[in-house]
């Protein structure tokens, strides 16, 4: 009995022909193009066992690398569970960073000194705190959470893309090059190392120490890489050194259509050009989708073909047709949340065990959705629940306005906002209020300040009345007053122009506050709700998920699957986003648009049975167009339906009822009129309108 027959009969692992070819690849480089739901983990586990059980390879000479701990655990667990009784020695499964850390430890032991890790489980210091201090020293201002994330990502990009000359690059962070160099010098002086350094140090060690390089080349004769599309330049260079240019046993499983980490330095070009990098590289394809309905496979496959820089693929499935993706526009954010609640409740009524996920481009979208789910008693968990929303300075400003309205003796709240409401309150006036130490209204104390001008006295008296009124209003009206009467955003715009921070992002934060406020009757209830939501989010991490709705970003959803997927906030400002659109319009550079399209594709292909695409027509009080990707999906649906519809087909119209297609009329613009006989009444309908508005169901 050969290996393929053995795993079929003994373990119930039935491989299709494409999978068999990949599993039986032994020597030489290979690229396996693995589409969504095509069984790549099964192929990697089976190929590992094939090398050992069928060809006699020592399992300890096989190393499988991936890019996150969850994927590493899944592969190792799958392999051990199925083949652990057959193979006594362990093959090595590791994340890329863990392997590089192991290599650096090897070097450290030899040198007799050890670096302190400032990220991960061995965190002995705080990378974020170090960067905050350096930023303050160089720019003479504090860095906010958004700017800090940009800075960390830009440092990672430099390391992963192995950039040397930084002077000609347009970085978001002010004085980035100086900050970068200061950070590198600080780490060297204090023997510190972060995640990115694990890669750069490993690369340097392999170049500097041929004996260490030979040790790992001899130890791991067979190297497998999962999610190869996530390789950055430095990771790819490390791989090339480990396997050598010729006669290497490198087995990379990848999907160039799911390369979505450009901001970390990952580029699909390393996969697209791999046949030129490794002589004799074999190409295998896993194109059969075991996950999704035929509707989702057909539409998503047609959608991603709009990207130009990719391998051509022929995705298919034996799964049945069910429902095409539902495209739904909401009036605004609140209406969108109500639609999400409605969809979830309907699906759970049909099947209480249905696995449902709500996906979004940015983590901030989760806040208002969490508020709605919690108020409706729907259990949920948030993946990757690190969220700085509640600690963001803008949110803290707004809460300070409200706290002061309720308590005009709150000096701390007033200190935060006194210069942000266009009421001509000087620093000297504020300092007098603080040093006076009166336990009365801060404004009353300021009114006793000798240096007040008559207009300032008048303003302060009016301000006291304003805040007293705010205390009794509903929170939506208070937020409107802060924006329009205090003209809070006037100063914010100036700050954004000076620092390069996105005003749209800050309006987005304000919009979330407005959405939460619509469900609160008073200022006290709003403040209480904000505390509750922060606690809810912080306690809703990656725990037991059974029976819970999953909330996650599109990036974090990669590798996962759900019965029903709801993609929310699908506006152009979110995905592909203004930066990607600007690059395309200004420079005719479609690379970012293509990456965002891949991200959209990742979201679509998480769905097994049902896919909902939602977009609010109004966000943050402004009309916003739907994502251009929604238009593209609609075009794919239209093309698919046009290719399948035919005369004699039975249809069901939402208004006119049951009918039979009598004739089809192609028009010059490529659209089609469809003539339907509804019980003797002939009607000519615009096909595209019927499809986009789901007026017709076809019995295919």
Query: pLDDT digits over 345-388, tens only?
Result: 999 999 999 999 999 999 889 999 999 999 999 999 998 656 77
Distances (CA, A) of 557 to 59, 94, 384: 31, 21, 10
Residue 572 is predicted with a pLDDT of 95
Place of tokens 């300040």: 449
* CA 482/CA 401 separation, integer angstroms: 8
345 C-beta neighbours (distance < 10 Å), count = 12
Residue 622 is predicted with a pLDDT of 87
Phi-psi region of 116 (alpha: psi -120 to 50; beta: other; left: phi over 0): beta
Alpha helices in 278-332 (DSSP H): 294-304
Task: Please say if the pLDDT value at position 122 is more than 60.
Answer: no
Specify the long-range contacts of residues 13-19, CB closer than 8 Å, at least 24 apart: 13/42, 13/46, 13/82, 15/42, 15/43, 15/46, 16/288, 18/284, 18/285, 18/286, 18/287, 18/288, 19/43, 19/46, 19/286
CA 587 to chain CA mean position, Å: 25
Closest CA to 313 of 232, 258, 265: 258
Higher-pLDDT residue of 339 and 167 is 339
Closest CA to 561 of 599, 605, 600, 596: 605
Task: Please say if the pLDDT value at position 245 is more than 80.
Answer: no
Q: pLDDT tens digit string along 149-159?
A: 889 999 999 99
Task: Please say if the pLDDT value at position 516 is more than 70.
Answer: yes
* CA 421/CA 404 separation, integer angstroms: 13
Alpha helices in 127-255 (DSSP H): 127-139, 145-160, 176-190, 195-208, 210-219, 233-243
Residue 50 is predicted with a pLDDT of 96
First to last CA, the chain: 43
Task: Please say if the pLDDT value at position 669 is more than 90.
Answer: no
CB of 602 closer than 8 Å to CB of 554: yes
For residue 286, name the pLDDT band (cuts at 50, 70, 90).
very high
The whole-chain average pLDDT of the chain stands at 91
Q: pLDDT tens digit string along 82-101?
A: 898 888 778 999 999 999 99
- 223 in helix, strand or coil? strand
Residue 386 is predicted with a pLDDT of 65
For residue 437, name the pLDDT band (cuts at 50, 70, 90).
low
Task: Please say if the pLDDT value at position 282 is more than 90.
Answer: yes
Q: Report yes or no on whether pTM surpasses 0.85.
A: yes
Cα within 13 Å of Cα(123), Cβ side: 9
Decide: residue 214, CB within 10 A, 0-12 exposed, 13-18 middle, 19+ buried. exposed
Residue 103 is predicted with a pLDDT of 96
Percent share of the chain, pLDDT over 90: 70
Residue 480 is predicted with a pLDDT of 96
Residue 120 is predicted with a pLDDT of 66
Angle, CA of 555, 558 and 564, to the nearest 5°: 105
Task: Please say if the pLDDT value at position 53 is more than 90.
Answer: yes
Task: Please say if the pLDDT value at position 446 is more than 70.
Answer: yes
- H helices, E strands: number in the chain: 30, 20
Task: Please say if the pLDDT value at position 542 is more than 80.
Answer: no
For residue 337, name the pLDDT band (cuts at 50, 70, 90).
very high
**Which of 40-49, 577-586, 664-673 shows the lowest mean pLDDT across its residues?**
664-673
Residue 490 is predicted with a pLDDT of 92
Residue 142 is predicted with a pLDDT of 84
Distances (CA, A) of 69 to 11, 157, 483: 26, 21, 44
Q: pLDDT tens digit string along 391-403?
A: 899 999 999 999 9
Q: pLDDT tens digit string along 188-236?
A: 999 999 999 999 999 999 999 999 999 999 999 999 999 999 999 999 9
Residue 263 is predicted with a pLDDT of 85
DSSP 415-457: HHHTTSSSS---HHHHHHHHHH--SS-HHHHHTT-TT--HHHH
């Amino acid at each position: 009995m050969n290996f393929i027959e053995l795993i079929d009969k003994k373990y119930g692992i039935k491989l299709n022909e494409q999978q068999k070819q990949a599993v039986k690849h032994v020597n030489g480089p290979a690229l396996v193009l693995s589409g969504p739901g095509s069984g790549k983990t099964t192929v990697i586990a089976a190929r590992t066992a094939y090398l050992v059980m069928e060809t006699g390879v020592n399992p300890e000479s096989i190393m499988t690398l991936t890019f996150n701990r969850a994927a590493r655990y899944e592969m190792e667990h799958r392999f051990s569970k199925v083949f652990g009784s057959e193979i006594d020695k362990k093959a090595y499964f590791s994340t890329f960073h863990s392997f590089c850390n192991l290599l650096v430890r090897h070097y450290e032991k030899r040198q007799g000194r050890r670096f302190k890790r400032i990220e991960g489980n061995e965190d002995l210091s705080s990378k974020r705190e170090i960067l905050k201090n350096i930023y303050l020293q160089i720019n003479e201002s504090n860095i906010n959470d958004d700017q800090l994330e940009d800075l960390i990502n830009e440092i990672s990009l430099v390391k992963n893309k192995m950039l040397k000359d930084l002077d000609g690059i347009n970085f978001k962070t002010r004085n980035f090059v100086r900050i970068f160099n200061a950070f590198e010098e600080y780490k060297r002086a204090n023997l510190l190392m972060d995640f990115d350094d694990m890669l750069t140090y490993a690369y340097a060690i392999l170049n500097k120490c041929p004996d260490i390089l030979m040790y790992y080349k001899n130890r791991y004769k067979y190297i497998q890489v999962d999610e190869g599309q996530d390789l950055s330049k430095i990771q790819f260079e490390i791989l090339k050194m480990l396997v050598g240019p010729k006669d290497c046993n490198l087995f990379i499983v990848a999907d160039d259509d799911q390369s979505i980490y450009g901001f970390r330095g990952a580029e699909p070009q390393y996969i697209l050009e791999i046949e030129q990098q490794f002589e004799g590289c074999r190409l295998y394809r896993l194109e059969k989708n075991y996950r999704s309905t035929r509707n989702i496979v057909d539409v998503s496959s047609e959608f991603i073909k709009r990207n130009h820089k990719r391998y051509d693929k022929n995705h298919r499935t034996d799964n049945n047709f069910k429902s095409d993706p539902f495209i739904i526009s909401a009036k605004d954010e609140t209406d969108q949340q109500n639609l999400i609640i409605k969809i979830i409740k309907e699906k759970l009524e049909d099947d209480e065990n249905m696995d449902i996920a709500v996906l979004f481009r940015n983590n901030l979208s989760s806040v208002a959705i969490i508020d709605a789910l919690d108020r409706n008693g729907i259990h949920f968990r948030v993946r990757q629940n690190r969220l700085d929303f509640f600690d963001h300075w803008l949110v803290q400003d707004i809460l300070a306005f409200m706290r002061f309205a309720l308590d005009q003796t709150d000096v701390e709240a007033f200190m935060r906002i006194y210069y942000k409401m266009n009421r001509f309150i000087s620093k000297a006036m504020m300092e007098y209020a603080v040093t006076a130490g009166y336990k009365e209204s801060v404004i009353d104390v300021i009114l006793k300040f000798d240096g007040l001008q008559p207009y300032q006295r008048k303003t302060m008296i009016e301000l006291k009345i304003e805040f007293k009124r705010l205390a009794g209003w509903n929170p939506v009206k208070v937020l409107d007053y802060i924006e329009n009467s205090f003209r809070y955003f006037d100063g914010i715009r100036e700050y954004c122009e000076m620092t390069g921070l996105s005003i749209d992002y800050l309006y987005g934060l304000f919009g979330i506050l407005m959405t939460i406020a619509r469900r609160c009757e008073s200022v006290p209830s709003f403040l209480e709700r904000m505390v509750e939501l922060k606690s809810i989010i912080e306690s809703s991490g990656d725990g037991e998920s059974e029976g819970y709705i999953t909330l996650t970003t599109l990036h974090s959803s990669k590798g996962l699957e759900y019965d029903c997927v709801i993609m929310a906030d699908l506006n152009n400002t979110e995905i592909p986003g203004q930066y990607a659109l600007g690059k395309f319009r200004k420079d005719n550079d479609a690379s970012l648009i293509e990456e965002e399209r891949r991200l959209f594709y990742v979201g679509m292909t998480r769905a097994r049975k049902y896919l909902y695409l939602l977009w609010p027509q109004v966000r943050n009080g402004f009309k916003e167009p739907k994502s251009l990707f929604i238009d593209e999906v609609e075009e794919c649906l239209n093309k698919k339906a046009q290719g399948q519809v035919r005369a004699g087909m039975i249809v069901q119209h939402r208004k006119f009822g049951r009918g039979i297609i009598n004739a089809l009329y192609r028009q010059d613009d490529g659209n089609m009129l469809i003539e339907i006989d509804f019980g003797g009444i002939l009607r000519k309908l615009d096909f595209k309108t019927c499809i986009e508005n789901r007026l017709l169901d076809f019995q295919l």
